[in-house]
Amino acid sequence: MPDIFLPSTLPLVPLPPPQLLYPHLQATLQIPSSHLAVLLNAIAENATRHKLDSSRIIAIVPVVEIERRVGRWATAARIKSVTKVASPPDTFNIILEGIARIRLPRSLPPVLSILPPLPLPISTYSLPVSDLHILENVDLVPLATALLPPQLHEKINLIPPTLLADLLVSVLQIDWDVRAELLGVPDVQERCAKVYTILSKLVSDRGLAPATTTKPLLTSTPATIPRSRALIRRPLGPPTMGLPEDLQPLDSLFQRRLNEISSSAGQAITRELKRLSKIPPQSAEYGVGKTYIEWLLSLPWKKVTETPHDLDLAKARSILDDEHEGLEKVKRRVVEYLAVYQLKRKLFEEETAAKLQEKKTTKTTHQAVQNAAFDASTAGELLELIPKDERKALEETQTPMDDILTKDVYRDKGPILLLVGPPGVGKTSIARSLATSLGRKFHRISLGGVRDEAEIRGHRRTYIGALPGLLVQGLRKVGVANPVILLDTAESAVGTSNFHGDPSAALLEALDPAQNWSFHDHYLGDVPIDLSQCMFIATANTLDTISPPLLDRCETITCSGYVTSEKLAIAKRFLLPKQVKENGLLAVGVQMGDGVIEKVITEFTFEAGVRSLEREISRICRTKAVEYSTARQSTHSPYNPEVTSNDVDTILGVAHFDPDVREETHRPGVVTGLAWQASGTGGIMLIETTLVPGGNGQLVLTGSLGGVISESAQLGLTWVKSHSASLGILLGDTDPYKSHDIHLHLPAGSVKKDGPSAGIGMVLAIASLLTGRVVPSTTAVTGEITLRGAVTPVGGIKEKVLGAHRAGIRKIILPKKNLREVMADLPESVKDEMDFVFVGTIEEALEEVWGKDIWTDTSRPRLEAKL
């Protein structure tokens, strides 16, 4: 039960008819901006006088024709919100919520306008708990039932009788004078008796009969208060009566879980149980309804994993270290994230504690008015009985009931971590370790192939076999409201709306801290679910296709591919021991030397991550498991845990064909470019050109090329053509463009290729073809070109370079503007082994490959490669 504290002086504000403010109800006061300024000054003065940070409490005095005060009673009220109205101009609506009746001093001047803070003899005219018993004599419920529409009947039972009298006279359009008089009746019994007389008259005037009550009234002794309070919290009263037998188990489960579910879920279950009790159990609808109730009962509305208040960052780091090799930057960033999370949470908890403390101290300096019959859980119900026009204005500032109940829980509003990198580099497993460090449950949702909004937001219950969306399903699976949820392959939830809706929009709503405390899943209908306590982490292979609004919510951490030495370390420390264990060889083990593992890495796997490597190691372990089983059965051949290089060949067979190994031969017209696949893996890509006799300088393109890459080829040819003279291509009377077409092909025709980064490679290939000079196959190039010959930066450079390194390339020509990325992000071992040449123009690139004398050297045969 919250206590309300009133300062001993309050500014006074006149409230003309027809409005009248009772404790716990709302009223809207419309005032011009000049009056608002006076009011705010008076409030500030009062706050300073009482050394309060803010006191939005004022006294609302009912007045008639502005000069005549009615009686000696007013209402202490809290300002809930101030909003500017569209018309009349310069006018504000102030929404007030009554706190308690206050008696005004005899000497008070007429309240003609807003008055500065004046001392008021404040008494506790709200109800002490022990006074409740007096109400049993004057039961207003039957009268209220007769007078109010049926949909409100059940709610009347939930309203404490002490409030009912005020509430009824407010909603039943009783004369203002009568209402003002009732404000001056602080004694509850007297007030209820008066209201009883008024309502009885109204009932008989309208020719209605008072209903007989079944109302569980609040009972007399303080000892029974908690039970009564539970009753108040209960959404719609027990529906058990008259339920069919097969609904009884559900109902009793409902009763047991009453305190664990949100009030809106409780209301929905009550409604559904009632509805089901009226329809035949054989109908399909009956089954649908039962499943719906089961879902509502099984969700973790309020249950959370308790997380330690002091997160041990060193321990978190050691969990990350224990489960992952390398990934230094990623680990550091994850620990930073945890540190910030912990700090924010601590700060929040300290603030909450300080507020509580402040309340306690204010109690000693200010008179406390006990608000016996009002608590947050009745607020929502009450609201519905408040006149509509007032309610509308109030709703904007309303916090939902469930939110009030759990408002002291910390909800992280920070960005979502997005781990980006090629497959198999440990993104998922880092997220899992983060959940372990936080002591939270972990749930992974794969967004791959999610094209339908219903997969995120659920299907409406009208569909047969309808289910909630992936998020709600996930919550039920983990059984707590605060898990770490990993949204895997987030790039797949593309931001395209189609006739199935827009999954990324639904996802955004779920991730938005401003909305996700009341996420609406279609299956759950009008029952909102709180996702704000979940911690979301996303992973993606590439940022290219991720929806921009989603990306905007995220903070990106890049996990790049591994080089051989890193893979070796991962294999030795994690993959091999894991596979040995999984294949039942823990007792005898499998020994693989560094050279052997390296052979598996370089000859049998061609990937940025370590997934295939793990698969190959698993194959080796399986073979060793067969050997071990055979050895156990025969005494002749003992088991040998050692795996040699030859064993690898025997077990894994012929080394895999790898398109990503550099060419051994050097040929004019062939250049090695760099590619970056949608999976996030980098590699090399050959650019082949040849001259086709009988043409006229046209460009023929093949190899599944997209629009952008085709334009790059055209651009490359144009550049070479325009520099033909200086490159020595047009010599004497031979003009290759008049007698030949140029065919440019990118092998692996089944793979779609696009992007601008092959531009410089195309220029080199065409120039090489026409000048007859070769580009060494150990050299790779990447960079976009412009028509004027500038080389501009490209994306995915780190993965491309790592892919080139794997393929055996030792020199890379790349755009100057990518220099910082290369220097900052690449492992030292790669930087040591490779030669990087940064160029700003095409000329620089050509000179780098063929030397400065390319512009004058015309001695070489010009055409070497012909069909």
Ligand X SMILES: Nc1ncnc2c1ncn2[C@@H]1O[C@H](COP(=O)(O)OP(=O)(O)OP(=O)(O)O)[C@@H](O)[C@H]1O
423 is in an annotated binding site: yes
Rounded to a whole number of angstroms, the minimum distance from the CB of residue 420 to ligand X is 9
When the beta carbons of 191 and 427 are compared against ligand X, the nearer one is: 427
Contact status: 429 vs ligand X (CB under 6 A): yes
Q: In whole angstroms, how close is the CB of 418 to ligand X at the nearest point?
A: 12
Could you identify the residue written with the tokens 């601590």? 346
761 is known to lie in a ligand binding site: no
Contact between 326 and ligand X by CB under 6 A: the answer reads yes
Angle at 478 between CA 317 and CA 331, to 5 degrees: 15
Confirm whether 800 is a catalytic residue: yes
Taking the alpha carbons of 521, 524, 525, 528 in that order, is the dihedral positive or negative? negative
Token representation of residue 676: 């970056």
Say how far apart CA 263 and CA 256 lie, in whole Å. 14
Spatial separation of the C-alpha atoms in residues 426 and 548, rounded to whole Å: 24
Kindly tell me which residue out of 426, 474, 716, 783 binds ligand X, with binding defined by CB under 6 A: 426
Q: Percentage helix, strand, coil, to 5, in the chain?
A: 45, 20, 40
With contacts defined by CB under 6 A, name the span among 175-183, 279-287, 417-425, 495-503 that binds ligand X: 417-425
Q: Mark the segment that binds ligand X (CB under 6 A) among 68-76, 110-118, 250-258, 321-329.
A: 321-329
Structural element, H or E, at residue 645 = helix 645-652
Cβ 490 vs Cβ 447: under 8 Å: yes
- Rounded Cα gap, residues 809 and 778, in angstroms: 5
To the question of whether residue 414 is assigned a binding role by annotation, the answer is no
User: Considering the complex, what minimum distance in angstroms separates the CB of residue 559 from ligand X?
Assistant: 7
Catalytic residue list contains 757: yes
Distances (CA, A) of 136 to 188, 229, 412, 816: 11, 17, 47, 87
State the amino acid at position 702 in one-letter form: T
664/191 Cα distance (integer angstroms)? 101
Q: Which residues, 11 to 50, sit near ligand X by CB under 6 A?
A: none
State both tokens at 748: 């692996």
The smaller minimum CB distance to ligand X, of residues 28 and 433, is found at 433
The answer to whether 561 contacts ligand X (rule: CB under 6 A) is no
Residue 71 annotated as lining a ligand binding site: no
Q: Pick from 23, 117, 142, 423: which binds ligand X (CB under 6 A)? A: 423
The 444-483 site mask, x for binding ligand X (CB under 6 A), equals: ----------------------------------------
Query: How many angstroms separate the Cα of 698 from the Cα of each of 694, 718, 762?
Result: 10, 11, 15
Here's the x/- map for ligand X, 676-715, by CB under 6 A: it reads as ----------------------------------------
Residue 357 and residue 349 in contact, taking contact as beta carbons nearer than 8 Å: no
Least distance in angstroms from the C-beta of 426 to ligand X: 3
Closest distance to ligand X from the beta carbon of 646 (Å) = 27
Binding of ligand X at residue 574 (CB under 6 A)? yes
Burial class of 766 by CB neighbour count within 10 A (0 to 12, 13 to 18, 19+) = buried
Beta carbon of residue 330, minimum distance to ligand X (angstroms, whole number)? 9
Work out whether strand 740-745 and strand 26-32 pair parallel, antiparallel, or are unpaired: unpaired
Which of residues 325 and 455 has its CB atom nearest to ligand X in the complex? 325
Q: Would you say 125 or 574 has its CB closer to ligand X?
A: 574
DSSP string, 707-752: HHHHHHHHHHHHHHHHTHHHHT-SBTTB-HHHHEEEEEE-S-TTS-
Residues 64 and 73: their CA atoms lie apart, in Å, by 13
- Read off the amino acid at residue 588: V
The minimum distance between CB 325 and ligand X, in angstroms, equals: 4
Phi-psi region of 525 (alpha: psi -120 to 50; beta: other; left: phi over 0): left
Binding segment toward ligand X, per CB under 6 A, in 416-424, 652-660, 781-789, 810-818: 416-424
Q: Is 362 annotated as a binding residue?
A: no
| 428 annotated as a binding-site residue | yes
φ/ψ (deg, to 5) at 13: -130, 125
**Residue in the shown chain whose Cβ atom is closest to ligand X:** 426
Provide the 3-class DSSP secondary structure of residue 703. Answer: coil
Residue 427 within binding range of ligand X, rule CB under 6 A:
yes
Cβ proximity to ligand X: between 426 and 756 the closer is 426
Q: Which one of the spans 8-16, 421-429, 467-475, 630-638 is the region binding ligand X (CB under 6 A)?
A: 421-429
Q: Which of 757, 768, 777, 798 is catalytic?
A: 757
Residue 82 forms beta bridges with which residues? 94
Q: Which two structure tokens, joined as six digits, stand for 279? A: 């329809």
Token pair of 317 as six digits: 């780091």
Q: Which is nearer to ligand X, 222 or 448 (CB)?
A: 448
Min. distance of Cβ 493 from ligand X in angstroms? 14
Site mask for ligand X (CB under 6 A), range 575-614, x = bound: ----------------------------------xxx--x
Residues engaged in binding ligand X (CB under 6 A): 324-327, 421, 423-429, 488, 539, 541, 570, 574, 609-611, 614
Binding residues for ATP: 421-428
Residues in the annotated binding site = 421-428
What is the set of active-site residues? 757, 800
